[in-house]
Amino acid sequence: MARFCYSNTEKEIDAYGFDEVIKSHCRMCHGGCGVLIYLKAGKVEKIGGDPECPIAHGTLCPKGLASTQIAYHPDRLQHPVKRIGPKGSGQWERISWDQALDTIAAKINGYKAEFGAESIVMGYGTGRDNEAVIYRFANLLGTPNVLTAGHLCYGPRISTSIITCGSNPVVDYENDPDCVMVWGNNLVIANSDEYKGESLAMCVEKGARLIVVDPRMTRLAARADIWLQLRPGTDAALALGMLNVIIEEKLYDRDFVPRYIHGWDEFVARCKEYPLDKVSDITWIPVEKIRAAARMFAEADTAGIQWGVAIEQQVNCADNNRTLMALMAITGNLDRKGGQVLFETAKNRNASEFGAHKLLSREQRNKRLGGERFRLASHFAIMNPKCVWDAILTEEPYPVKMAFFISSNPVLTRANAGEVYKALEALDFMAVADFFITPTAELADIVLPAATWLEMDHIADFWKRHGYILPRRKAIQVGECRSDHEMLNDLGKRVGQQDYWWDNFEGALDYILEPLEITFQEFKKMKFIRGEVNYEKYREKGFSTPTGKVELYSTKLEEWGYDPLPQYHEPHESPISKPEMTDEYPYILVTGARSPGFFHTENRQLPWLREQHPEPFIEIHPDTAAKLGIQNNDWVVIESPRGKVRQKAKLFEGIHPQVVGAQHAWWYPEKKKNNHGWSDSNINILTDNSYESCDPAMGATSVRTLLCNIHKESLS
């Protein structure tokens, strides 16, 4: 049965002059870190880590510590506003919540009546545990078009794991794997999804062998037993080469494979197409290093793969995920204690059930933009962004008239930002909910003031796959800010969904917890609830796939018309696929390396965090910089066929001389003109969103790998 864990008290009086201390859970990134919120006179005085948190054990990153600087920032949007000047003019007028929601509701009902519900796009970005409530609103409205980061972030992991082995395999750090392979992830910086960096750090401290796959010398790579510095975008080839070694040397699990693998013979034949000399040529990694890494992983008693979004933001997105799951499975580490576990969630209503996906009719589901092209994505209600921009600009296959973006800044975060900006300018009507007036919000007609995690009650992490749910407790109220959940609860009732919403959102939290036979008020008295923990469940139940086995040969992908076996595709824009471009664009550009203080586009107006990282930089090998006459801290111009931007040069020996690494999501909140300098350093001005460059099944945009040129900025 589920594990219920109670807190001694909901609030603790501190001995150092604070009025009270509230236990809660941070959501400055993907969330889950337990915190203690220290209050005095109704205001947050400081935030610290909660040692009783089962996930983060009292650790907290700079973003969490700086949460109060968002809550109390002088530029924080604290009341709804409507635009009174041209788009991007920065001219706003304060309005009431009733006026804002009534206006948005009238627009929704009007466009639905004239153009169909599909003409309205709901969107979210990093999320505030708001994914399920946004899908609920959209599905009840009848629009299949919910624009998320899911095509290239976490969504591919969930989608491909469900069709491969039934659920997302999570590293069992609690039981100390003997080997961890960190692939396209920098967990000690990023704290992504189910994971916190502290767990990996402690595992390595205890002696776990460490393999790191990354084109950059990260802190983890510097400590690794083996660092595989691959050519960007060649992950699938490397994984298939390692699988080939494990199969040829018979290092796979002889008990697991014949019983629980579907398509083994076909999979072996596919892996044989990737001998190590070929893989070495593709990846730039020496043969013996690939072989040594494959052996180290396969021969460990228990092993796990810590994977991240870098492998998902490229043309090989789905097959990257599938090959890593194959490495877990054939070595017997899938759903194994100390390996990669398919954790069971607590028996509350899950995000999919709350999202009311079954209430969207088949007729409307079939209208999802890009659904016929990207069938794996569409099966999981995920879409490719370019399909939306095209529908806005061309009105094909039908017009998109309205968008409502919540916790999302697509002008900065989506590929080919120039096209994104043009599309959002052309929208008939746009609403945004956020903490600040961002570059995307500057194009909106109405902007709603969103609440931070400090200002809401919620069930933290109920969408994740680590098995925990945790109470987030409201500590303060700032201005008229409201949570995304509350605003949609009210908006839903204004557009005819009254029967599916509640008097207030606490009713929704009770609904989520109802199968556990507790209310949210009872949950608030607990530390957490954890689902039942069992290992090797497949021995009794098999895997939750059509064949009941781990499908290395995917029956679902075959049904949808894709190759059922993983393979390697050369990046759409590389020295191999586009040699004719290399005279003008000789360098491989990688983007998206994480920064401790920023979460994508967020936090650049927070003094503590901006002081650590005042300007964007691009990493350049010293030999390359010398050839180009570039010195450390010079402003440089980076160009691709889509445009050019400027960042500061950072000389860095931990990157290949033919590769440069730029930072993403940069804008300048302090620049009030020119829409906060949205295009000055925004690396997504350069990235490609053409359909040919995307993953064919998932629609993932290849924002991590492209060709570029770089030169010192002229002073004239």
Cα dihedral 510, 512, 515, 519, rounded to 10, equals -20
Which pLDDT score, from 0 to 100, does residue 10 have?
Answer: 45
Helices (H), 224-283: 235-248, 256-260, 264-271, 276-283
Strands 170-171 and 617-620: unpaired
Q: Is residue 708 within a helix (H) or strand (E), and if so which, with residue range?
A: strand 706-712
CA 203 vs CA 196, 210, 366, 394, 570: distances in Å: 12, 10, 46, 52, 35
Identify the pLDDT of residue 245: 98
DSSP string for residues in 147-163? E-STTTSSHHHHHHHHH
φ/ψ (deg, to 5) at 426: -85, -10
CB 529 within 8 A of CB 669: no
Q: Of the ranges 62-71, 191-200, 500-509, which one carries the lowest mean pLDDT score?
A: 191-200
Backbone angles phi, psi at 154, to 5 degrees: 70, -45
User: Binning pLDDT at 50, 70 and 90, where does residue 9 land?
Assistant: very low
- Cα dihedral sign for 419, 425, 431, 436? positive
When pLDDT is cut at 50, 70 and 90, the band that residue 106 belongs to is very high
Q: Say how many CA atoms lie within 13 Å of 181 toward its Cβ.
A: 27
Please tell me the predicted confidence (pLDDT) of residue 472: 97
For residue 97, give the H/E element and its range: helix 97-115
Q: Which two tokens stand for residue 103?
A: 């206006």
Nearest to 441 by CA among 455, 463, 466, 424: 424
- Of the candidates 463, 476, 420, 465, the one whose C-alpha atom is nearest the C-alpha of residue 443 is 420
Beta bridge partners of residue 25, listed in sequence order: 34
Q: What pLDDT shows up at residue 6?
A: 52
Phi then psi for 8, rounded to 5 degrees?
Answer: -60, -45
Strand intervals (E) in 413-547: 429-434, 446-449, 458-460, 468-472, 526-530
Domains of the chain and CATH, by start:
3-71 (2.20.25.90), 81-152+349-470+477-530 (3.40.50.740), 169-341 (3.40.228.10), 579-712 (2.40.40.20)
Cis peptide before 397 (omega within 30 of 0): yes
Q: Are 635 and 646 in contact (CB under 8 A)?
A: yes
Query: Can you read off the two tokens belonging to residue 532?
Result: 């039942």
Query: What pLDDT is recorded for position 279?
Result: 98
Q: pLDDT at position 575, please?
A: 97
**Residue range 333-362, pLDDT digits in tens:** 999 999 999 999 999 999 999 999 999 999
Q: What is the mean pLDDT of the chain?
A: 95
Which pLDDT score is estimated for 17?
A: 81
Give the pairing of strands 120-124 and 402-406. parallel
Task: State both tokens at 405.
Answer: 């973006």
Q: Give pTM, 2 decimals.
A: 0.96
Query: Which of 56, 321, 345, 1 has the alpha carbon at shortest distance from 173?
Result: 56
Q: Coil, strand or helix: which one is 115?
A: helix
* Nearby residues of 654 by Cβ (< 8 Å), 6 or more positions away: 216, 217, 218, 221, 222, 619
Q: How far apart are CA 597 and CA 619, in angstroms?
A: 18
* Banded model confidence at residue 1, pLDDT cuts 50, 70, 90: very low
The string of pLDDT tens digits covering residues 586-602 is 999 999 988 889 999 99
Terminal Cα-to-Cα distance of the chain (whole angstroms): 70
| Predicted confidence (pLDDT) per residue in 146-162, tens digit | 999 999 999 999 999 99
Using a 10 angstrom Cβ sphere, with 0-12 exposed, 13-18 middle and 19 or more buried, the burial of residue 116 is middle
pLDDT attached to residue 192? 73
Is the pLDDT assigned to residue 31 strictly greater than 80? no
* Tens of pLDDT, residues 195-216: 888 999 999 999 999 999 999 9
Q: How confident is the model at residue 5 (pLDDT cuts 50, 70, 90)?
A: low
State residue 533's pLDDT score.
96
- Does residue 329 surpass a pLDDT of 80? yes
Q: Which two tokens mark 208?
A: 């776990």
Q: Where are the beta strands (DSSP E) in 374-502?
A: 402-406, 429-434, 446-449, 458-460, 468-472
pLDDT digits (tens, 9 = 90+) for 429-478: 999 999 999 999 999 999 999 999 999 999 999 888 999 999 999 999 99
Mean pLDDT of 655-682: 96
Position 13 scores a pLDDT of 59
Q: Among residues of the chain, what percentage have pLDDT more than 90?
A: 92
Question: Using an 8 Å Cβ cutoff, are 529 and 4 in contact?
Answer: yes
Burial code (b: 16+ CB inside 10 Å, e: under 16) for 560-581 equals bebebbbebebbbbbbebbeeb
Query: Is the separation of the CB atoms in 297 and 249 below 8 Å?
Result: no
Would the pLDDT of 112 be above 70? yes
Say how far apart CA 120 and CA 61 lie, in whole Å.
37
- What amino acid occupies position 120? I
The CB density around residue 366, as the number of other CB atoms within 10 Å, is: 12
pLDDT band for 16, please (50, 70, 90 cuts): low
**Cα–Cα distance list, 7 to 115, 196, 379, 676 (Å):** 51, 22, 40, 44
Can you read off the two tokens belonging to residue 493?
């009732």
**Phi, psi dihedrals of residue 275, rounded to the nearest 5°:** -65, 155
